[in-house]
């Protein structure tokens, strides 16, 4: 585990000791959880500009305030599921600094007047063991429990988590957002594990300290899983706004010449090396020259189609269709496949029960742009030399 760009915060204890923090080590470094009035904590988090680290980037202070104004005693849900098969940042955090996550969850709960914290992890994950051990060490003023969620891509979407806690059904729902009506019909704060760990640090060191690193619109640090064709893949802590190429270099740089970088995971976008967006994402994956980007996109789209909740048209019919269209392109089946694909990419966004189909559309659309040369060759009827190659990135959990 390495902390990049000289900004160790969440991983500072690990960097100093080289060992995961049990409760004794955690208290030795940070002291007990600070006592803060609810309004003071929400104000500090708002002034810090803390954005959610689960992918959506929603302002955490606004979410806290919305839950607090809900009129009923709320519930706090820690989202540590990490549905992306290639991502490991939350698992690393639960391994190395679980008490920071729990501190943040308990602080949020007491600020909101909640008496229940639910920590959601994927079943069979190492996070389940680590957080269970950490909970057993503590004596918190609120009840903290673990729920193990099926290891499916959409099961970590916030409404799916609430649905699972209530009914053991890990599918997204429509209707009121969890901050309005969540677990047991109560206002529910669903926050990523990393977000809550940052909240615990803000409560101790303040909003101005948090903003000393990062940029005005992306303050603080981010945990990023860097994978694919880099020399030292792993989880790194980087300043908000750090260029993606600089983040790749903290992982030892490219192991081979690169043709593209996948920014933001399987629902993210392909980017040309040197033009990838600034860091503020949880996942960067480097694709080397010699692997057809369209063929690899077809693998990812097939995986995303198989991970849908099968409860709305865009997922049930749209995702398999665009996966098939890209596969046809890879096989050199001409312009008809491209025409069908473009039509589908125009009509799917915004129509699903959750953002899962939107992410697949975003991935496919960026592939058409970044791998335009391959698209043109396949439209002319030239099959892909890489059509039978296995996925370069993981498309399932073991």
Per-residue pLDDT of the chain in tens (398 residues, 90 and over written 9): 444 455 679 998 888 888 889 999 999 999 999 989 999 999 999 999 999 998 788 999 999 999 999 888 999 999 999 888 999 999 999 999 999 999 999 999 999 999 999 999 988 887 788 899 999 999 999 999 999 999 888 888 899 999 999 999 988 888 788 888 999 999 999 999 999 999 999 999 999 999 999 999 999 999 999 999 999 999 999 999 888 899 999 999 999 999 999 999 999 999 999 887 666 778 999 999 988 899 999 999 999 999 988 888 888 889 999 999 999 998 887 788 899 999 999 999 888 778 889 999 999 999 999 999 989 988 888 777 776 778 999 986 43
- Both tokens assigned to 297: 């996109």
Assigned token pair, 37? 């009035």
Q: What's the order of all strands across the beta sheet hosting 221-228?
A: 2-3, 234-239, 221-228, 283-288, 258-263, 269-271
Is-contact 238 279, C-beta < 8 A?
Answer: yes
Q: Could you say which DSSP state residue 284 is in?
A: E
253 close to 234: Cβ distance less than 8 angstroms: no
Question: Does domain 293-379 match CATH 3.40.50.720?
Answer: no
What sign does the CA torsion over 124, 264, 299, 307 have? positive
Query: DSSP secondary-structure letter at 236?
Result: E
Q: What is the pLDDT of residue 71?
A: 82
Contact 189, 216 (CB under 8 A): no
Per-domain residue ranges of the chain: 32-210, 293-379
For 42, phi then psi, to 5°, come to -60, -40
pTM of the model: 0.94
126, 133 in Cβ contact below 8 A?
A: no
Superfamily of domain covering 32-210: NADH-ubiquinone oxidoreductase 51kDa subunit (3.40.50.11540)
* Ranges of H-type helices in the chain: 12-17, 23-30, 38-48, 60-68, 89-96, 98-112, 126-137, 158-167, 193-205, 207-210, 244-250, 293-306, 313, 319-330, 335-347, 356-370, 372-379
| Residue 117, both tokens | 């914290």
Cα–Cα distance between 5 and 3 in angstroms, integer?
Answer: 7
Alpha-carbon separation of residue 366 from 271, 294, 308, 388 (angstroms)? 8, 10, 20, 22
Quote the pLDDT of residue 284: 94
CA angle 340, 345, 350 (to 5 degrees): 145
């Amino acid at each position: 585990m390495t902390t990049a760009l000289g900004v160790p915060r969440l991983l500072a204890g690990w960097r100093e000791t080289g060992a995961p923090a049990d409760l004794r080590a955690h208290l030795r470094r940070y002291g007990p959880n600070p006592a803060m009035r609810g309004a003071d904590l929400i104000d500090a988090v708002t002034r810090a500009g803390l954005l959610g680290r689960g992918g959506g980037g929603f302002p955490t202070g606004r979410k806290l305030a919305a839950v607090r104004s809900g009129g009923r005693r709320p519930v706090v849900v820690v989202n540590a599921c990490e549905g992306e098969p290639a991502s490991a940042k939350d698992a690393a955090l639960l391994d190395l600094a679980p008490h920071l996550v729990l501190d943040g969850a308990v602080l949020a709960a007491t600020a909101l007047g909640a008496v229940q914290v639910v920590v959601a992890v994927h079943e069979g994950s190492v996070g389940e063991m680590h957080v269970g051990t950490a909970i057993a060490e503590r004596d918190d003023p609120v009840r903290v429990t673990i729920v193990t969620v099926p290891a499916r891509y959409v099961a970590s979407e916030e409404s799916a988590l609430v649905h699972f806690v209530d009914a053991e059904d890990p599918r997204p729902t429509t209707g009121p957002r969890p901050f309005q009506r969540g677990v047991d019909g109560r206002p529910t704060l669903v926050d990523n594990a990393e977000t809550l760990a940052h909240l615990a640090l803000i409560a101790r060191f303040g909003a101005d300290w948090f903003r000393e690193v990062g940029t005005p619109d992306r303050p603080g640090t981010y945990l990023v899983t860097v994978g694919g064709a880099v020399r030292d893949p792993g989880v790194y802590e980087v300043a908000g706004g750090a260029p993606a190429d600089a983040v790749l270099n903290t992982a030892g740089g490219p192991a081979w010449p690169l043709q593209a970088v996948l920014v933001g995971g399987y629902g993210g976008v392909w980017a040309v090396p040197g033009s990838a967006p600034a860091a503020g994402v949880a996942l960067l994956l480097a694709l080397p020259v010699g692997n057809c980007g369209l063929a690899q996109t077809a693998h990812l789209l097939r995986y995303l189609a198989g991970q849908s909740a099968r409860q709305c048209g865009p997922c049930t019919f749209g995702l398999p269709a665009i996966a098939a269209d890209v596969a046809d392109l890879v096989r050199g089946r001409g312009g008809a496949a491209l025409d069908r694909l473009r039509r589908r990419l125009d009509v799917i966004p915004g129509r699903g029960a959750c953002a899962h189909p939107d992410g697949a559309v975003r991935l496919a659309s960026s592939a058409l742009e970044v791998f335009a040369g391959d698209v043109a060759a396949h439209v002319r009827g030239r099959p892909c030399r890489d059509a039978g190659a296995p996925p370069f990135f993981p498309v399932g959990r073991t």
